């Protein structure tokens, strides 16, 4: 929000009974005279000529002058009165008002302070004193003065408004909102007050969003909409918060409301299109996005969204929008004046060629991708060295293996990955020992096509190189597809420190490249571009790659042929595992007997399938805890059943008189779930091929490549492309009992709980919810505690030394499943050593250090 949200008007503000109206009172208003004490006569000039007047008569004459704008005459009389009676509170007050109107704040504050001292029981004097302090921006003093004024006149709106202003300027938005609510309650007809209250709710809601407190943000935006129903901005912000919380139907309705108030608002059309696409309504999404593109020929993000939605559906149209999007970005960049070139330093020390990567966290797609690149790069780029910038979150065995493979590792400040990690690889451009550098992504692999392009760049003699090789490549510079000669840019490190933001999205590195790097390299860069005519050269001829369809292709799942890994990471399956004959177009399946029966699984599933293969079980501490919470005849709901590794034991626990409702939206996974239940003779499970949410509707489920290695239990819903599936709520099941609600739905656990609110209130079941999305954790904890539940952390190592197979090899070092156990107040925890949840701000990382 730009500028102050609360401000003082330029007209007189309020007057008490018997007071004459005034004009031109910019800061303070004349209010009733109090504690008038006639003492000696005052010489005044009237229509009858000079005469002696009482102080009361003199004040009347001065007020006439003051109200008519004859400020000099009024001030002369106020001064004469104060010469006669320096303690005359009315004269001190009116003289202070006049001084404030004429911008002599020191004089105004002195006289108003003295007026309050002489008449401490007059609320109006204190209010005008506060208004003068506001003009002087002495915000802390304003609050002190107004507390006393409100004790004298609690039913007046203006002092509450001024108090809100002071609280806002001292950074206490909560207190500002509380004060302004009082003002609105006292003067509900004043639209200026309700409008400013709406703005404060908007500001606080945006602050909540930046801190990932979605539920609090939603409440503030809802208040803003209620206060300003005719304004589009509050509706837009509420819709965006709903979208961020995966409440697609409600978000779409609110975007439509915003558009009804501002029909040509491009960002609302863009976001509505994204919402409809994520909820599986692709045709409606395309209609909205195309309308947004027609209404605003310069709207880049709506064109990018059209490319994403159309990429697979209509590649030809996607390419047209891609061309338009890049052209707009290039036109904007061309309008900027490029800074002067930075002369290169001495080349004698620059002898090394480096391929730079950023690496933080433990996700296998990046850690194993780093190892794969460390193996592949030397073969594709002889003479180049891989360098990995990393922080302390990367597992030490991965760093050791990178070093063994000949890669360099550069340690960055601890914990800085979320804020600076995307930028680290760019720092290679500052290295005085480096001749040329390439910036690349851990989740892609080098190809012959890329090598041919790099060779062409080196031969060109130009200092920089950029590649675009897909319709989605509409950025000026893609963070993992550019390179250059080191030392040809101003120092990047200070620019990165200024740009990096822990709370920014994952595209902040490419915005930095577009805004800071591109203006400094355009005109001296070789661009290879296979999609956008006229903005680069075609890629040189090169053999096709069997894995990567284009340069920079994301390897969303690891390839089994990536090479040998750290010894414990890819052990062979034991003989108990049978690899089933592959069928055309179907994923490779395997099966083995396990702790809970015969289980069939995806042979290339890197977590559930791999654990079942090696140990005959998966995260079995979870069903062991469930056995302490449910028994024969109970009803259990499991949202996110996957292939049934936990559904099978749950069904055995409740027995033939009980029932399990199992939800799994992925079609291929759902089919495997049904097979495992049938193979184990379990007929007490109701299968739902649906997602679970807080309202019925539809949502898009991505379709992974099950033929490649990947974690098929970690598929997030609401993608732009995929297969639409229904969304059901637990309350709509019409249950007559419920003992356990279990949910593992990739950050959407709060929606599951909201859609089960009536069932939870009626049956008070045990709750067992995954909680490994830090940005949603606080809201989930607040939601559950608000339902009257006590919470405990349940951190379950995937590897159990007492596993069913007796396998001593830990293939999942330091990998845990992060869950919350919730029980109604008064129900004891069955595992006395579980750490309790101390509050919404507690992170699982803090707990992990304790257990």
Res 56 pLDDT > 70? yes
Question: Which of 627, 783, 605 shows the shortest CA–CA distance to 709?
Answer: 605
Burial of 153 (0-12, 13-18, 19+ CB in 10 A): middle
**Is the pLDDT confidence value at 566 over 90?**
no
**Dihedral pair phi/psi, residue 685, rounded to 5°:** -115, 130
Instruction: Give per-residue pLDDT as tens, 673-707.
Output: 999 998 889 999 999 999 999 999 988 877 766 66
The answer to whether the beta carbons of residues 696 and 247 sit under 8 Å apart is no
Which pLDDT value is given to residue 297? 92
Distance CA 710, CA 699 (A): 22
pLDDT band of residue 711 (cuts 50, 70, 90) is low
Q: What average pLDDT score do residues 304-321 get?
A: 92
The segment with the largest mean pLDDT, out of 198-202, 414-418, 502-506, is 198-202
Map residue 454 onto helix, strand or coil. Answer: helix
Domains of the chain: 42-189 (1.25.40.10), 199-334 (1.25.40.10), 352-529 (3.90.550.10), 578-848 (3.40.50.150)
What per-residue confidence (pLDDT) applies to 213?
80
Q: What is the pTM of this model?
A: 0.64
Phi then psi dihedrals of residue 84, to 5 deg: -80, -45
Integer Cα distance of 384 and 377 in angstroms = 8
* More reliable by pLDDT, 703 or 110: 110
Residue 516 has pLDDT above 50, yes or no: yes
Q: What is the pLDDT of residue 471?
A: 94
Per-residue pLDDT tens over the stretch 756-813: 999 999 999 999 999 887 778 888 999 999 999 999 999 998 899 999 999 888 888 8
Residue 346 CA: distances (Å) to CA of 228, 343, 433, 525: 62, 10, 10, 21
Residue 559 pLDDT > 50: no
**pLDDT of 716 over the 70 cut:** no
Binning pLDDT at 50, 70 and 90, where does residue 623 land?
very high
**Which pLDDT score is estimated for 717?**
55
Residue 841: pLDDT band (50, 70, 90) is confident
Average pLDDT, the chain: 85
Task: State percent of the chain over pLDDT 90.
Answer: 56
Q: What is the mean pLDDT of residues 822-838?
A: 93
Share of the chain above pLDDT 70, in %: 86
Q: Give the pairing type, strands 464-468 and 525-529.
A: parallel
Q: Which residues contact 513 (CB under 8 A, 6 or more apart)?
A: 426, 475, 476, 477, 478, 479, 482
Q: Residue 642: what pLDDT?
A: 94
Nearest CA to 390 out of 420, 363, 368 is that of 420
User: Is pLDDT at 341 greater than 90 in this prediction?
Assistant: no
Res 714: pLDDT: 54
DSSP state of 826: T
**Residue 558's pLDDT band (cuts 50, 70, 90):** very low
pLDDT at 342: 55
747 has a pLDDT exceeding 60: yes
Residue 340 pLDDT class (50, 70, 90 cuts): low
Is 492's pLDDT higher than 50? Answer: yes
Check whether 98 has a pLDDT greater than 60: yes
Q: Give 832's pLDDT tier (boundaries 50, 70, 90).
A: confident
Instruction: Give the closest residue to 597 by CA, choosing from 661, 667, 664, 647.
Output: 647
| Closest alpha carbon to 157 in 191, 126, 180, 134 | 180
Least confident of 208-217, 383-392, 566-575, 608-617: 566-575
For the stretch 814-819, contacts whose Cβ atoms lie closer than 8 Å and that sit 24 or more positions apart, written own/partner, are 814/362, 814/395, 815/362, 816/848, 817/619, 817/622, 817/770, 817/772, 818/770, 818/771, 818/772, 818/793, 818/844, 819/622, 819/768, 819/769, 819/770, 819/771, 819/793, 819/794, 819/795
Work out the pLDDT band at 33, boundaries 50, 70, 90.
Answer: very low
Mean pLDDT of 379-401: 93
Banded pLDDT at 29 (limits 50, 70, 90) = very low
754 phi, psi to nearest 5 deg:
-60, -35
> What digits encode the pLDDT tens for the residues 162-202?
998 989 998 899 999 999 999 999 999 999 999 999 999 99
Pure H helices in 123-230:
123-135, 139-152, 157-169, 173-186, 191-210, 214-227
Region of 144 on the Ramachandran plot (φ > 0 left; ψ -120 to 50 alpha; else beta): alpha
Tell me the C-alpha distance between 114 and 97, whole Å: 12
Report the candidate in 672, 632, 674 with the shortest Cα–Cα distance to residue 650. 632
By DSSP bridging, strand 635-639 and strand 659-663 are parallel
Segment of 154-158, 245-249, 627-631, 691-695 carrying the highest mean pLDDT: 627-631
Residue 573 DSSP code: P
The pLDDT of residue 724: 87
Q: Rounded to the nearest 5 degrees, what angle is found at the Cα of 291, between the Cα atoms of 287 and 294? A: 140
Beta bridge partner(s), residue 46:
49
- Flag whether pLDDT at 3 surpasses 50: no
pLDDT of residue 644: 96
pLDDT of residue 560: 29
Helix, strand, coil distribution of the chain in percent, nearest 5:
45, 15, 40
Q: How far apart are CA 549 and CA 86, in angstroms?
A: 89
Give the Cβ contact number of residue 841 at 10 Å. 10
| pLDDT of 4 higher than 90 | no
Residue positions counted in the chain = 851
- Least confidently predicted of 372-376, 584-588, 649-653, 745-749: 584-588
* pLDDT tens track for 322-331: 999 999 999 9
Question: C-alpha 257: how far from its chain's center?
Answer: 23
């Amino acid at each position: 929000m730009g500028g102050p949200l609360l401000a003082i008007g330029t007209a007189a503000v309020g007057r008490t009974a018997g007071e004459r109206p005034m004009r031109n009172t910019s800061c303070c208003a004349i209010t009733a005279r109090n504690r008038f004490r006639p003492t000696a006569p005052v010489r005044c000039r009237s229509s009858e000529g000079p005469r002696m007047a009482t102080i009361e008569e003199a004040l009347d004459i001065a007020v006439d002058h003051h109200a008519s704008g004859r400020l000099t005459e009024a001030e002369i009389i106020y001064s004469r009165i104060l010469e006669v009676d320096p303690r005359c509170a009315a004269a001190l007050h009116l003289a202070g008002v006049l001084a404030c109107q004429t911008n002599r704040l020191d004089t105004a504050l002195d006289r108003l302070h003295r007026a309050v001292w002489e008449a401490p029981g007059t609320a109006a004097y204190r209010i005008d004193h506060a208004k003068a302090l506001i003009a002087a921006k002495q915000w802390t003093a304003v609050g002190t003065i107004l507390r006393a004024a409100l004790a004298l006149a609690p039913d007046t709106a203006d002092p509450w408004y001024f108090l809100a202003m002071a609280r806002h300027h001292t950074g206490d938005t909560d207190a500002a909102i509380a004060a302004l609510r009082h003002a609105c309650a006292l003067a509900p007809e004043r639209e200026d007050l309700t409008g400013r209250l709406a703005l404060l709710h908007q500001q606080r809601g945006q602050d909540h969003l930046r801190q990932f407190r979605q539920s609090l943000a939603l409440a503030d935006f809802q208040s803003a909409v209620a206060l300003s129903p005719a304004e589009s901005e509050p509706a837009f912000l509420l819709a965006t918060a709903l979208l961020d919380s995966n409440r697609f139907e409600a978000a779409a309705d609110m975007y439509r409301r915003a558009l009804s108030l501002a029909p040509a608002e491009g960002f609302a059309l863009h976001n509505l299109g994204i919402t409809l696409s994520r909820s599986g309504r692709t045709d409606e999404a395309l209609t909205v996005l195309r309308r947004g593109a027609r209404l605003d020929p310069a709207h880049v993000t709506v064109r990018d969204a059209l490319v994403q939605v159309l990429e697979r559906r209509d590649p030809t149209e996607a390419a047209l929008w891609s061309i338009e999007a890049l052209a707009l970005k290039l036109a904007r960049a061309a309008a900027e004046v490029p800074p002067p070139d930075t002369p290169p330093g001495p080349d004698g020390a620059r002898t090394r060629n480096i391929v730079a990567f950023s690496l933080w966290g433990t996700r296998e797609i990046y850690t194993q991708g780093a190892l794969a690149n460390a193996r592949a790069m030397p073969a594709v780029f002889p003479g180049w060295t891989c360098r990995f910038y990393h922080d302390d979150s990367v597992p030490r065995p991965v760093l050791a293996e990178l070093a063994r493979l000949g890669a360099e590792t550069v340690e960055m400040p601890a914990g800085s990955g979320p804020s600076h990690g995307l930028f680290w690889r760019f720092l290679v451009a500052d290295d005085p020992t480096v001749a040329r550098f390439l910036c690349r992504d851990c989740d892609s692999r080098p190809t012959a096509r890329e090598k041919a392009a790099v060779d062409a760049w080196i031969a060109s003699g130009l200092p920089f190189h950029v590649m675009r090789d897909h319709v989605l490549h509409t950025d000026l510079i893609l963070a993992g597809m550019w390179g250059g000669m080191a030392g040809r840019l101003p120092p990047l490190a200070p620019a990165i420190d200024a740009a990096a933001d822990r709370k920014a999205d994952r595209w902040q590195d490419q915005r930095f490249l577009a805004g800071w790097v591109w203006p400094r390299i355009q005109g001296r860069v070789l661009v290879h571009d296979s999609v956008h005519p006229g903005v680069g050269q075609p890629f040189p001829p090169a053999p096709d790659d069997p894995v990567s369809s284009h340069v920079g292709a994301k390897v969303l799942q690891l390839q089994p042929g990536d090479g040998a890994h750290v010894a414990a990471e890819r052990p062979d399956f034991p003989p108990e595992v049978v690899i089933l004959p592959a069928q055309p177009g179907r994923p490779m399946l395997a099966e083995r007997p396990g702790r809970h029966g015969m289980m069939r699984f995806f042979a290339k599933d890197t977590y559930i399938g791999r654990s079942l293969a090696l140990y005959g079980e998966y995260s079995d501490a979870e069903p062991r805890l469930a056995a302490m919470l449910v028994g024969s005849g109970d009803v259990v709901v499991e949202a996110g059943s996957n292939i049934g590794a936990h559904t099978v034991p749950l069904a055995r626990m409740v027995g033939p008189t009980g029932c399990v409702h199992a939800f799994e939206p992925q079609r291929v996974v759902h089919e495997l779930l049904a097979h495992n239940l049938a193979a184990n003779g379990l007929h007490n499970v109701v299968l739902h091929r649906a997602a679970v949410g807080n309202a019925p509707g539809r949502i898009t489920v991505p379709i992974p490549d099950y033929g490649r290695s990947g974690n098929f239990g970690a598929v997030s819903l609401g993608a732009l492309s995929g297969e639409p599936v229904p969304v059901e709520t637990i309350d709509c099941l019409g249950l007559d009992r419920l003992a356990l609600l279990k949910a593992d739905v990739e950050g959407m656990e709060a929606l599951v709980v909201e859609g089960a609110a009536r069932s939870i209130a009626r049956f008070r079941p045990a709750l067992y919810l995954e909680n490994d999305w830090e940005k949603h954790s606080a809201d989930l904890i607040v939601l559950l505690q608000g339902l009257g539940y006590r919470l405990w952390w349940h951190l379950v190592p995937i590897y159990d030394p007492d596993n069913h197979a007796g396998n001593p090899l830990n293939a999942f070092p330091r990998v845990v499943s992060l869950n919350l156990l919730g029980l109604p107040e008064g129900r004891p925890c069955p595992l006395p050593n579980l750490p309790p949840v101390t509050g919404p701000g507690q992170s699982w990382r803090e707990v992990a250090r304790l257990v």
